[in-house]
Structure 1
Amino acid sequence: MLPKWLLFFTFILVLSLSSIDGQPTPTTTAIAKRQESDVIDYHRTEVTRTSAEVPTETSSKDDKNDKNDKDNDDSKDTEPEQHNTSKPIPAQTAPWFEAVYGQESGISTIMACLGAILIVLGLFLCSMGFRMFRPMLCVMGLLTFGSMTWIALANLRPDAGYPSEPMLMIVVPVCVGLVGAGAFYFLWSIALYLVCAFGGFIFAIFVLSWRADLVIHHPIGRPCFLGGMALLTGIVTFFSLRPMLFFATSFVGAYIFMFGVDCLSRSGLIAGPQVLLNRNPSHNIEYAMNKIVYVMLAMIIVMFLISMGWQMLFNAAHHLGMHIVAAAKGKPAHEEAKEEGDGGGRPPSTAPTS
């Protein structure tokens, strides 16, 4: 028989083994619960951190999208501003008057002198342009070379402008025009065709000025039309000199007369030739048609027709400064011309007789 203490020890050992293999003890249960809670807390922490990171990434993406939208809005806002810089200066505004007439209000001294000179020259061409042959050549040389010089200076003008620009834009064309007047006076046989070609050029400007956006919209078609009309009138002059001289002197005289009137009235007529001939981006102005401009364009036609009729009747017996009926009076042709006040005598015998 086994001792009692051995039986007791065996009983305790069996009981402990059964407790390990069977139901968990309170200690083991607490440990298990603690481990389970640690795992749950770990997962909760991961989920919380992930949920915290996702909004951050989303917010960063939203911030990037907002930034891109802002950049797009800024670019959209910038594009109209850039486009506005290329828009023409609105008509009848202070900057427009300064760009066209030299100052915002009132008549500047330069424009007053220019207007007065053009009015006098226009009246001379309309009334005595054909009769006073040599002076007419000088006036046409002045206008031709002066206008071409102004066109060149206007288109080559830098963004900062010329020094003393209002004075320079008048003085330089006038000086070059005086050289042209001398060239026309001495080289009259060539100048005759240039006079009529200049008349065709001015007529083309007049035709294009009847619309605010100009009659011909194509930027290449406009210079082609200007050059084509000048070339056409020059060629026609070779076959019909007398009628073309009547046309050139009458139309150029009527046009520059109204041009000079507009220099004083500041109505907007001269904005048309400036828009047409000056393609410099720094001088982008608007040409607006109004009642006064239409009236002035119509007056050019009326004045041209009156001048054409007057000169054809007044010079019916004259041809380029020479009185045709001088031989009937028993006087040489050059003496008769001096008595008529032509001032230049008879042109050389090589003058066209058409």
Structure 2
Amino acid sequence: MSVTHEKTMLKAFDANTAARALTLARATLQIEADAIVALHARLASDDSVGRAVALLLQCGGRVVVSGIGKSGHIARKIAATLASTGTPAMFVHPAEAAHGDLGMVTSEDAFIAISNSGETAELMAIVPIVKRMGGILIAMTGNPQSSLAQLADVHLDVSVAKEACPLNLAPTASTTVTLALGDALAVALLDLRGFKEEDFARSHPGGALGRRLLTHVRDVMRSGADVPAVGADASLTAALEEITAKGMGMTAIVDADGRPLGVFTDGDLRRMIEKVQDFTKVAIRDVMHAQPHQIGPDRLAVDAVAVMEQFRINQMLVVDADGKLVGALHIHDLTRAKVI
């Protein structure tokens, strides 16, 4: 077989494989989408979600989510989503629970048990104990007649017509539906608890949203001796020395009480070079920009970003409630703080 013929066959094989893969991928997505649509329709005549949410809202402890295998992975995700959206939650592995970790669960907690068959041995070994504790039991299964479903205070039906797996064996559509219903519970609880962006940010302080909603101007502004400022009677030369010394590309011009009267920037200097021959004869009050943009130290840093973007400026003054200069911001300060 020639090298050219081998390359031709390889190209044909690759094309056929790619087409087959695309067909299977689209079929998988369609099956899983159909399963979610079927769940959506089923809930129209089923009050189980409403009852489950009501029980979770009145829970005095945490929500404990448990499952094993693929259901365990879904349980971990649901617990994480609940916890990050205002509902204290944690995952407990059913096998570990049977060997001591059940001590984490109290009578004040709500227990969400996830099992597609509803007969998972590891779960069924601990669920009766949870029931005897007096805690809330919510089951998510694909079999309303299962042992787990019958024990539950509320059963959430996550059954599917078929799995996306061609063998109808690997949990695919069923795990997708369970995860989606878990998200639905979390979103309903989030709304009913009045959970806001600020609350979300507090549980995600290391993320971009946390930085945007928790970082205030006072956290990133330059203050004290680092703030460039000169008096209204200063010369332009003195102002330029202050700009150079403080490295912000500008200086504030303040009155005797420390209230900003104006600002002078590097850009202003460049525009003056062609017009002014002797800087020593220029007073800063005659060339400053009056009524500079200002912001309070307790405002969010993202508010400062919005003002800078709106007016296309790189620096901004920070004033207190009395209008006195207490700090200054450069766009680079906000970038270093990862606010932008």
Q: TM-score, normalised by structure 2?
A: 0.25
Bigger Rg, which one: 1
Structure with the bigger RCO (C-alpha within 8 Å, sep 6+) is 1
Q: TM-score, normalised by structure 1?
A: 0.24
